Amino acid sequence: MSTTFKLDTSTSRANPTPQPMKRLTVPMIRSHKSDGKTREPLVMLTAYTARQAQLLDAHCDLLLVGDSLGQVIYGLPSTIPVTLEMMSNHAAAVVRGSYHSVVVVDMPFGSYEQSPQQAFESAAKLLKESGAAAVKLEGGAQMADTIAFLNQRGIPVMGHVGLTPQAVNVLGGYAARGRSDAEAEKIFNDAKSLDEAGAFAIVLEGVLEPIAIKTTGAVSCPTIGIGASAQCDGQVLVTDDMLGMFERVPRFVKKYENIAETIEKTVARYAEEVRARTFPTQDQTYQQKR
Ligand code: KIV
C-alpha cells in the first residue's frame, strides 16, 4: 500500500517527539525580568483539565495547576484536603493539553513543609508523573532552605507570599495582608528571602498595592500578582473566577464573562427540548442507509 507518510527529521534526544512548537522554559520566564525591569507582563492562569489547557495555552506564558482545584473542581471547603495524587493527575492532563506555556504545579498542604527532603520527594513525584516543569509552594523565609535545596537538585520553584490560602487556619480567613507595618515588612522580607534562595518567580497574593510595588522593585525574579498591583511583573487569576463560573468572587477578580449564566440557560433549553421530545431530531438520529 502506498503512503504519503514522511519521517519527521526534526527530532533529537532533547526533543524526541515532534511538537507543533517549542514550549517556553523556566529560564525564559526568569530572564523575562532583567535589570529589575519586565518588558511586557507575564500572563498566568490556572488550568486543571486538558481541554481547559488547550483553550488557554496560546494566550498564556504560564499555566498554574493550582491547589485551588480543591474548591473549584472537588467542592472542598479549602485547599487543605488536596492530595499529591489530585495535583499529579490534573497536572498531567494540563501538560497533555498544552504545548506552549510553562506548566507549574502547586505542592499541596502537608507535602513539603516538614523538611527539604520531604519537599524533594513530593516535588519529584509531581514532576515525574505529570511532566510539569516546576512546582509552586507557599510560605516566606521559613521555606528559603527548601527552595534552595530543590533548585540545586533540578526542581525550579515558584514562591507564594502574602495571603497564603494553605495557612487559612492560622490567618483566620482570606483577608488582604500587610495592613500593619510589621506585616508589610514581613511580606517584603519573605519575598526577598525566596528571591535570594533561587525562586524563579514569586506570587504576591492579596497584599496592599504599595507592598507589591516595593517588593517588585526589590526582587530580581518576576513577581506575579493576584490582588496585588498592575505594577507586578505578571498577573494570575483563577480561570473559573474570571470566566464567571461563580456568582461571588474576591474583590480582586475581574469577571470577564458570565459563563455560569450561559451554562445555566443552555442546560435549561436542553431540558425543555428533552421533555417536549423536540430533541433529538432527524439530524441527530441514525436511520438505515438506503
Ligand atoms: O491555587 C491557586 O490557584 C493559586 C493561585 C490563586 C495563585 O495559588
Mean pLDDT of 121-150: 98
Name the closest-CA residue to atom 2, ligand 1.
66
Query: What is the 106 CA–ligand 1 centroid distance (Å)?
Result: 8
Mean pLDDT of 229-235: 98
- Give pTM, 2 decimals: 0.95
Mean pLDDT of 88-95: 98
pLDDT at 1 over 90: no
Q: What is the pLDDT of residues 27-67, one digit of tens each?
A: 999 999 999 999 899 999 999 999 999 999 999 999 999 99
Q: Residue 16: which pLDDT band, with cuts at 50, 70 and 90?
A: confident
Of 106, 245, 251, the residue with max ligand 1 atoms within 8 A of its CB, to mutate for a pocket test, comes to: 106
Name the closest-CA residue to atom 5, ligand 1.
66
**Is-catalytic flag, 205?**
yes
Q: Residue 17: which pLDDT band, with cuts at 50, 70 and 90?
A: confident
Cα–Cα dist 45/55, whole Å? 11
Q: Which domains does the chain have, with CATH numbers?
A: 2-254 (3.20.20.60)
Of the candidates 205, 261, 264, 272, the residue annotated as catalytic is: 205
Question: Relative to the CA of 138, which ligand 1 atom is closest?
Answer: 8
Question: Relative to the CA of 68, which ligand 1 atom is closest?
Answer: 1
Query: Is the model more confident about 153 or about 4?
Result: 153
Query: What is the 66 CA–ligand 1 centroid distance (Å)?
Result: 5
Residues within a 6 A CB radius of ligand 1 = 46, 64, 66-68, 106, 203, 205, 226, 236, 238
pLDDT of residue 15: 80
Q: Residue 250: which pLDDT band, with cuts at 50, 70 and 90?
A: very high
Name the closest-CA residue to atom 8, ligand 1.
66
Mean pLDDT of 204-220: 98
Mean pLDDT of 119-127: 98
pLDDT of residue 18: 74
pLDDT of residue 196: 98
Q: Residue 10: which pLDDT band, with cuts at 50, 70 and 90?
A: confident
Question: Relative to the CA of 67, which ligand 1 atom is closest?
Answer: 1
Q: Residue 248: which pLDDT band, with cuts at 50, 70 and 90?
A: very high
Query: What is the 241 CA–ligand 1 centroid distance (Å)?
Result: 11
